Structures are given as C-alpha cells and as structure tokens.
Structure 1
Amino acid sequence: MKTLQGPGLFLAQFAGDSAPFNSLDSIARWAASLGFKALQIPSWDARLFDLALAAESQTYCDDLRGRLAELGLQISELSTHLQGQLLAVHPAYDRPFDGFAAAAVRGSPAARQAWAAEQLKLAAKASARLGLKAHATFSGALAWPYLYPWPPRPAGLVDEAFAELARRWTPILNAFDQAGVDVCYELHPGEDLFDGVTFERFLDAVQQHPRACILYDPSHFHLQQLDYLAFIDLYHSRIRAFHVKDAEFRPNGRQGVYGGYADWADRAGRFRSLGDGQIDFGAIFSKLTRYGYPGWAVLEWECCLKHPEDGAREGAAFIQRHLIRVADKAFDDFAGNGSPREELRALLGLGSAMVGAAGEAQP
C-alpha cells in the first residue's frame, strides 16, 4: 500500500488574464498559500506553459521545476484535454470544438487533427523531461452522436469508430511508451471513452497497450449512475491519475440523467465543490490506498454555485483530510509472539520433519 500524494490542483479552471491567475509563478504562489503541493498544468495555456519549448529544452523544464520547488510545489501531470479532444471530432462538433485549436488550423479538420497529434507527441517529450510518470487527456469522440440506440445503429458502426480511434491513438501511445509515461484518459461523457465498457473496447482496439490508462473522476460516474467504487475494484491496475471532484444527482418527476437540455444549475445531475455533493470520498481514498494507487489526488474544481476561490481553499483542506497515512505495522502486532517455525508446526499438529515430494523425511 502507498500513501496518496496530495493535494494537487488542476489549473485549467483558474487560469485567467488577471493576477494572480495570469502567470505560472503567480498562480503557483496562490496555490501554495492554500496548501496545495502539486499543480496539474494545462499544456495549451500559453500564459502558464510553453509546450513546444518544454519538449525540446531540458533547461526550460529544470528551471520551471526549480521555481515551483521553491514554493514547495511539484508538477503532478501535464494535461492535453483539449488536444486529445481534437484528435477525433465528429463533424457535428466541428464548429464548437474548432476554437480549441491553434488559429492556423481552424476550419480544416484534417490539419486540426494533425496538429493535435503533434501536440500530444510534444506532451510525451515534455512529460519525460519534467520527470513525470502520468499524463491527463481526453480520447476524442467519433461515435458519441450515436450514444442512444435510436435510430438503430447500423451493424459495425461502433466497431469502426473504435478501430479508427485506435488507429489515431496507437502511434501516440507508442510515443508515450518511449517516454516512460502513462496516458490517462479522463472517462467523460462527450468522449468515446466514458465508462468501463468503452474503455475495455478501446483497450481491445489498441491491443491492451500498456500505456492506455485511466484518469479516475468519480463525478462523471455518479452522474451516469455508475458504481464508482466497484469501478476501482475492476480497473485499479489502470488508474494512474485522479481528479477529486464532487457531484450530486437528484432526479425528480421532470428530469433524470439526460437533464432536459437544462443549464448546469438546473440539471438533476450537477458538479459541486468538494464536500457539497454526494460522492463518498472516504471510501474512494480507502480503496485507492488499499490498491496502492501511485499518483496524486488532484482537485478539479467545477461547481455551478460556489465561487472558485472558495472551492479551491476548501478543496485543499478537504483532500488533505482524506489522505490516509499508510501504517508501517499491523494494528495487532502488540499481541504477536514471533514464534519460531518449530513452534508453528507444533501448533498445527505437525512434526519437526517435513515430508518431501518423494515421501522421504526432510530436515
């Protein structure tokens, strides 16, 4: 077992054009003042990070790590959620997602996809230079518009979508493998990888690639009414990143999981600040500790009610309270007597000699 590392903070929801959120140094000082120990850095935000430079310059990476270390901070992971999304975009979503891409490739799905693939490969190199072992991303989606089986899906449609997704991701997974970094897909509605079944389908399509891993976020599972605790039992060997995010699901006579096209504040299922929702984080931290989860517990703040700065301050303390310091001895060691082997055999009603496979006595 291992003691989880934390608390960490995903910076994507906090970065902005006003101080202290408009540079890595100033946002890092703010995060450290709240008690955070690590930052998950959105690689697309030039106000905070230069992905291309990090991929090529060890000096840049060493300097960045050193500046954070002076504040008592580490980097938990880099994130390419937006670039991963753009690796696979169904035409229905071309215009909404086009703004995620660099200006030079907008309006051209083929150029946008190539740019996203190159960004992901740069992230593999940058992660290696920064000494990271895990990377956070989205899978993208080709099949998502066909989630509900009406109208009936043509036979083979989903298989073809996952085969194409695997074709696009395999060279990227190989690049991360060369870098020694796990690719952790946040299983998220709107992505083709959004639950255990879809993750398994993808694993099959990429030939059980060892770098295809999971960013575990229970909020997305709760809003799907998936058993987020049983999920850990099933997939703990692939969980290599963790977003600590709360949610509530309160269905009524008018709406349920699908939300009736309502805005976030009016949906039956809503993301909430840590401690304000329904997620059983005590059980989650216990399971992840039991299974030896090797990474960071990172706050991803998303709430339709609470101010983000309050959510961050409360979230750092919330995660700290849930970290389980792993015991270095059994609780009943005081009752042990360290019996020698001969006494153990006597307690079992066995003689001092052992019988070998051929039936002869062994000393």
Structure 2
Amino acid sequence: MLDIRGIEICNAWFSTFFANGDKEKTIEQFIEHMNFLHAMGARVIGCSEQSKSIQGTTLAVFEEKAIFSDEEWRLTAEGYNELARIAAEKGMRVTLHHHMGTGIQTTEEIDRFMAMTDEQVGLLYDTGHVYYSEGSQQKMLAVLEKYLPRIFHVHLKDVRDEVVADVRENHLSFLEGVKKGTFTVPGDGVIDFKPVFKILDDYGYKGWMVVEAEQDPALANPFEYAVKARKYIRENAGL
C-alpha cells in the first residue's frame, strides 16, 4: 500500500520517561518501537521526554510547565545516550523532540540537554515549538544554526501569533491553544521560513523536513492546507 502511494515512513513519535526513573521499561519499549521503524525503512526515531509533561492537561503551558531537577536532568541525559547507542547498532539515529509543556521546552532547556548528551544524540528541530516558546524568529533561527551538525530531523510548523498571545495573556493550556488554532502550515502564520530553508541548504542537510499543523480539520481542510504548504515550500525552498 505504501509503495503504491509513493509513501515512506520517516519517523514516529516515541515517549520516554527517564526523568521518572522508568529507564528499564522505556528502553524495552524503545527497542520494540525501533525495530518496527527499521522494518518500515525509517532511520530516525523522534523521542520526547514525557516525564512531568502537561501537554495533555488543562494546566497553563507557560506558567505550570515541567521543571526538571538536577537528578532528573542526569537521568534523562543518560537515558538518551543509551538510546542513541542502541539505535546506532541498527544504523539509526535518535532525536529529542523539544516540545511545549515538557521539561525540554525553552531554548535554555534545549541547550542544557544538548550539552549533557553525546554527539550521537540528535535534535528534532521543530520551528513551531521554538517560536511558540520564545516568541522570536531570531531565537528560533539561533537554535537551528547552533545545532546544525546534530539536527537529524526537522518539523516545519507555523504558528499564529495572535493565538500564542492569547495563551500567554490568559494562562491557557497547550491543548486549549491547539484548539484555538495555535499551529498552521508554513506560510500561513508568523514564521518566515525562507532563512530556515537557506540555512539547511547551505549546510547540506539531507534529512527529512516534515510539515505539521495540528488544527481542527473542520476549520482547516487537511487537503487544502497540504496543498497550501506544498505551494509555499516549492516557491521558497525550490523543492
């Protein structure tokens, strides 16, 4: 079925719980997940540290997000180093997906994670989540430029500035923001993707760039938005 449609599986979300102390269970489930992706032809595994995550709750995403202790940081870093070693034996790469509502959301937290982990642990760079967290195109690009050698996967996600402002001002949850339309496809929000494409191209990035735009399909027709994203990327990245 995938071959008929010309579709490839490039990655799939995996939740880790190292900060909670669930290393053994996390690694056991990771190996099963990794083997499935490998069989499907994928070579990158996108992981997110979900210990203390509030992304699926009603808690305010900025004011009540997870904050890791020094010990939780140590457990997380050691766990990801182990996952990267396991994946490398299969010829695969592990990436950390920084995400709103988790303990690795801000640029400072991304920096700490990257400093504490081995070079073979990669970053899943998500334009939307960096911009959402920092409210700055400049900071979003700074993360990209700083970690280019360790960026193994990219999510192209735009945000609607007015919704992010609403979330901040009214102390809303991540889910409430999504329902209100925080995210959209490239070219439909506030982010200028042209420098993102240029930085990746100049570096010689060969990995996947995946369009994401979690929003209500009743309000944003998936096909129409997919076409809109494809047109924008073709015009601005030449792909």
The TM-score by the shorter chain falls in which range? Answer: 0.7 to 0.9
Match in the other structure for 1:133: 43
Aligned partner of 2:11 in structure 1 is 78
Contact 1:141–1:190 (Cα < 8 Å) also in 2: no
- Offset from partner CA, 1:242-290 (integer Å, 9 cap, x none): 11111022389x95636422632786x8212332201111121111111
Q: 1:294: which partner in 2?
A: 206
Q: CA deviation at 1:126?
A: 3.6
Q: 1:119 to 1:278 in 2, by over 3 A?
A: same
Match of 1:188 in 2: 99
Conserved? CA contact 1:143–1:158, under 8 Å: no
Per the alignment, residue 177 of structure 1 pairs with 88
Q: 1:168: which partner in 2?
A: 79
Distance 1:287 1:188 in 2: 22
Q: Is residue 221 from structure 1 mapped to residue 134 from structure 2 by the alignment?
A: no
Share of identical aligned residues, percent? 22
Secondary structure of 2:149 counterpart: helix
CA distance in structure 2 between the partners assigned to 1:136 and 1:272 by the alignment: 21
Q: State the Cα distance separating 1:143 from its structure 2 match.
A: 8.3
Shift of 1:135: 1.9
2:19–2:72 Cα contact (<8 Å) kept: no
What letter corresponds to residue 308 of structure 1 in structure 2? P
Cα distance, 1:239 vs. partner? 1.0
- How far apart, CA to CA, are the structure 2 residues paired with 1:244 and 1:217? 6
Note if 1:272 corresponds to 2:205: no
Q: Tell me if the contact between 2:62 and 2:171 (Cα under 8 Å) persists in the aligned partners.
A: no
- SS at 2:99 equivalent: coil
Aligned residues: 225
State the AA in 2 paired with 1:79: A
User: 2:147 is paired with a residue of what secondary structure?
Assistant: helix
Using the TM superposition, give the Cα deviation of residue 323 of structure 1 relative to its aligned residue in structure 2, in angstroms. 2.9
Rounded Cα–Cα distance in structure 2 between residues aligned with 1:240 and 1:291 = 12
Contact 1:273 1:303 in 2 (8 A): no
Structure 2 counterpart of 1:320 = 234
The one-letter amino acid paired with 1:295 is G
The range that moved more, 183-192 or 135-144, is 135-144
Structure 1 residues 202 and 119: alpha-carbon distance in aligned structure 2, compared to 1, 3 A threshold = same
Residues 195 and 239 of structure 1, relative CA distance in 2, 3 Å threshold: farther
Q: What residue ranges of structure 2 are gaps of 5+ in the alignment?
A: none
Paired residues of 2:185 and 2:212 also in contact (CA < 8 A): no
The corresponding residue for 2:69 is: 158
Aligned to 1:342: none
Query: What CA distance in whole angstroms lies between the structure 2 residues aligned with 1:309 and 1:138?
Result: 28
CA 258–158 in structure 1, closer or farther in 2 if over 3 Å, else same: farther
Q: TM-score, normalised by structure 2?
A: 0.77
Asked if 1:250 corresponds to 2:159, the answer is: no
Could you tell me whether the CA contact under 8 Å between 1:193 and 1:199 is conserved in 2? yes
Tell me the amino acid that sits aligned with residue 138 of structure 1.
Answer: S
Equivalent position amino acid for 2:140 in 1: Y
Cα distance in 1 between the residues matched to 2:182 and 2:63: 25
In 2, are the aligned partners of 1:286 and 1:324 still within 8 Å (CA)?
A: no
CA gap of 1:143–1:69, structure 2 versus 1, over 3 A, is: closer
**Structure 2 vs 1, CA of residues 296 and 258 (structure 1 numbering), >3 Å: closer, same or farther?**
farther
Q: Show CA shifts across 1:281-331 (max 9, x none).
A: 112111111111111221112135413332223223333333336xxxxxx
Give the root-mean-square deviation of aligned CA atoms.
3.4
Opposite residue 82 of structure 2, the aligned amino acid is P
SS in 2 for 1:257: helix
Following TM superposition, the consecutive aligned residue runs of length 4 or more in structure 1 with deviations greater than 4 angstroms are 142-145, 147-150
